[in-house]
Amino acid sequence: MARVKNTPATKSRRKKILKAARGAYSGRHRLFKSAKETVQKGWQYAYNDRKLKKREYRALWIVRINAACRENGMAYSRLINGLNMAGIEIDRKMLAEIAVNDPAAFTSIVETARKALETSKEPTAARQVPRI
């Protein structure tokens, strides 16, 4: 009985890897074993960087919001606390967009947060955890 090599499937699998390795240097796009390692590592980096991208954007938004807060005489953490106390639910992406493109609207948001902080009934000392 003749042995079965399954050539079409093997060839298509290898073509897929070699196609994904295009642009790599030297044998990393020509030789199957090297190309496979290159592609797998590239897929790992792509997966991890999709997660890192979200963190980096959030950090960028926070930096922009903080810069705009400082121009209005308030710290970022106080702004976020004031917005929570005022019941304003706006995410950091939108806050950063408003801070960059519409400073007047951002100033009114800061004022709203400032009023909520001033009218809060709970003093900051009461929020501390007592020592035993």
DSSP string, 35-100: HHHHHHHHHHHHHHHHHHHHHHHHHHHHHHHHHHHHHTT--HHHHHHHHHHHT----HHHHHHHHH
Mean pLDDT of 14-37: 95
pLDDT confidence bin for 1, thresholds 50/70/90: confident
Fold classified for 53-119: c-terminal domain of poly(a) binding protein (1.10.1900)
**Which tokens hold the place of 77?**
């953490």
Other Cβ atoms closer than 10 A to 96? 22
More confidently predicted of 75 and 131:
75
Compare 23 and 128 and report the one with higher pLDDT: 23
Residue 45's closest CA among 37, 69, 25, 11? 37
What's the pLDDT score for residue 128? 59
Written as six digits, the tokens of 55 are 């963190």
The average pLDDT across 13-37 equals 95
- Residue 129: is its pLDDT beyond 70? no
pTM of the full structure:
0.75
